[in-house]
Structure 1
């Protein structure tokens, strides 16, 4: 397991009243529909990210909050839909009213230094809730309709560094799309007249047919798994009875996994995902006949098939793909069995699959993906979060602000790139499990990663 760092028990963050930042120039006043991938129930939330920066002597006397705020206003000109508001129309269809209403921005000061955060390499970021800006909740839920689509907080640190915290409405951007916008802000903050990549809306490529076609794939991600009536303990265990620990998969661990993969060609992500899924299932003690699932995000960007993404597209361009089997089969067979299921599920996502998801969304009321006996993972290893540079240099930490919280606690996870104490690069996975399952999980992982 990797080590974790805690902040001082008492520290102060002084946040000023948030203000609306609007596009610096007039923008089109129009209504733009989201795609049928954008407006599913599973997208109707805000995704949080944090970037931590050290002091840069070359930027002495410059206020990062002011620099970013001015660059933000200019970046919102080509990205003007992000300054709009969502509206729900017939059949729960979401559209963006582009009226230049603005995004919410707050500046703050904290009596901390960048060093106080230690070598944080994976979510959750320490005390993340102090460094991101929230909106008002309704009955414990944060609505996305008629709210700003982006919330930003810039927190100056005592050492001269700062924290950039953002919350994007997932309906309008996915992780690569959000990164595209953040890098546009960075380019302008560093002196560019305009972003190097011209944004493209392009949502029509992921619209359902008219009329929608019958889905052409099983889409297990929206179907309840087979198995016994007992509730999934991952959805019923209180947060106070959960344990968190980051697990590091470096050269030694990957070598052990590759030995057990028996010469199968596979990626690092596929290896680690298969290991985590099998170990987690064994640790949770599901009944042998219960169907268990690994659900992961497969992005259409950069895939060698027929997804016609225009350059500059910043909407949602991914699907949830599912590997499924009985718990007894998964834990009773070798790692290669789990790995083959992961590889098959990953290769299933094509443009036709994405269009089938769009049809399902319209036909079935834009459902939420199922969570029962399901482990949902997202690989952000290559997202480039640390490369977000507002002129102060590369981020010390860049990535998701938090792991799964609330009903998603321990059910969702992010895979990140990191270095261990020896300077070795690897994959770090923050694990959250019931306390009585964590030791069993660690033993399972150790058994699969030990070199033969």
Structure 2
């Protein structure tokens, strides 16, 4: 577990500039898909990469290398150099203006080693490493990417990026980042050429559309407690789940589930249940939700074209009352997470696209909802600009847009002892975080005992 680091340092930034494509690109309007174009993706998502000093790269300026490669990459990925416009029915288009993406060059008076061995969110001075340029954080008529390269005193650097999520998902963003990396290392073109093809997930308006799924992820739910969770005194920590921790959790399942449950199933169920317990729900009959982001890439029946970089995932939701979730064993949560994931198919994603067109592009439900996204296979840490793989690569924090505490990412991680595992950023009110931390420590430790009794003892404090 990692709490906020006390490390403080100063960052000197040059004036932000727009990096345009290095050659002339088409001027056209390109429609986003109706999976891209939903309210729940109209936000900016931050990513951060840390790179060590490499003696063979002495004499090369990472900011210049990345900036030049970015300009050449935008010739292939030219929609990113445009701006979003909104048409009838709130339909989003990319106006491929070629204006460019925002780029910031910076220097920090800190060395990579000062961040410590367990480099994981929350990162100190993050707002200085990915500076919010005035007027840049909107969805419409704003740059679709903001990139800051911060040189470190030791010769390493930090690459930070903010993406308008309507343009790409994690896999699509990594595809673009890899293209920049390949061109930075001397390639003349990306090894995977981008494909737009957003009509794959174009929705049909009524009466053509017939609902195929309930799509409870978009339920309109009254918030009986004023807010999802208190927004004051929020605590941000990361939790590491290595082989020992995951094995301890798996031992708490019956034998048939131990073999049949993926790490995602197990960890998602554990976090959902523990998070709900830690929030101490006052009404045990209220519904709590877990949204398991499921990407269509690589799943049977999808057959997305190589190079497709649009959003290709769904927000399937599992619903349980606080009583069911907290007072039943972990196996109960695992079972419903597995069932929820299994529903996602090509038909499901096309049904979501139809739903967006028919229902006015709603936001997924955030009331008493927790969202998890597994980016362990996205490849962020593999992105190489010439300095090798990232020491840490992936989401800079949890949360969805301006809503803290709603979402967590599963990020691949190697701890100071060399153990490979998963790090999960969590955001909760301070008191709930203490309860969450204690319960996770119990679950991954060697303490035995009935889970229901433990849960009951936590809830009895109400």
Instruction: Pick from 356, 364, 374 the counterpart of residue 361 of structure 1.
Output: 356
Tell me, yes or no, if the aligned pair for 2:4 and 2:236 is still in contact at 8 Å.
no
1:399 paired with 2:398, answer no
Within 5 Å, give how 1:91-130 maps onto structure 2.
91-130=89-128
2:265 aligned partner: 270
Structure 1 residues 353 and 253: CA distance shift in structure 2, 3 A = same
CA distance in 2, matches of 1:194, 1:406: 33
CA distance in 1, matches of 2:15, 2:98: 20
Deviation at 1:238, TM superposition (A): 3.2
Deviation at 1:62, TM superposition (A): 1.0
Instruction: Pick from 270, 274, 288 the counterpart of residue 292 of structure 1.
Output: 288
Deviation at 1:334, TM superposition (A): 1.1
Instruction: Pick from 177, 190, 199 the counterpart of residue 185 of structure 2.
Output: 190
CA distance in 1, matches of 2:30, 2:441: 51
- Name the count of aligned residue pairs: 442
Within 5 Å, give how 1:134-145 maps onto structure 2.
134-136=132-134, 142-145=137-140
CA distance in 1, matches of 2:98, 2:438: 54
Deviation at 1:442, TM superposition (A): 2.9
Deviation at 1:137, TM superposition (A): 5.0
> In the TM superposition, what whole-angstrom CA distance separates every residue of 1:186-213 from its partner, at most 9, and x where no partner exists?
0000010100001100100100025451
> In the TM superposition, what whole-angstrom CA distance separates every residue of 1:384-426 from its partner, at most 9, and x where no partner exists?
1111110011111211122227752112111112233432222
1:248 paired with 2:240, answer yes
> In the TM superposition, what whole-angstrom CA distance separates every residue of 1:106-164 from its partner, at most 9, and x where no partner exists?
111111111122234432332211111424359xxx32111111111111111111111
Deviation at 1:256, TM superposition (A): 1.9
Deviation at 1:430, TM superposition (A): 2.2
Misfit runs of 4+, over 6 Å: none
CA distance in 2, matches of 1:333, 1:273: 16
CA distance in 1, matches of 2:30, 2:64: 30
- Bigger drift between 404-413 and 347-356 goes to 404-413
1:374 aligned partner: 369
Within 5 Å, give how 1:42-441 maps onto structure 2.
42-136=40-134, 142-211=137-206, 212-225=208-221, 229-232=224-227, 234=229, 237-240=230-233, 242-263=234-255, 264=257, 265-286=260-281, 287-303=283-299, 305-404=300-399, 407-441=402-436
1:17 paired with 2:15, answer yes
CA distance in 2, matches of 1:230, 1:119: 40
CA distance in 1, matches of 2:384, 2:201: 32
Structure 1 residues 379 and 156: CA distance shift in structure 2, 3 A = same
Deviation at 1:12, TM superposition (A): 2.0
Instruction: Give the unaligned 5+ runs of structure 1.
Output: none
CA distance in 1, matches of 2:47, 2:172: 13
Tell me, yes or no, if the aligned pair for 2:168 and 2:309 is still in contact at 8 Å.
yes
SS at match of 1:173: coil
Tell me, yes or no, if the aligned pair for 2:122 and 2:237 is still in contact at 8 Å.
no
TM normalised by structure 1 equals 0.93
CA distance in 2, matches of 1:280, 1:434: 11
CA distance in 2, matches of 1:21, 1:316: 24
SS at match of 1:325: strand
TM normalised by structure 2 equals 0.91
CA distance in 1, matches of 2:377, 2:43: 23
CA distance in 1, matches of 2:426, 2:161: 23
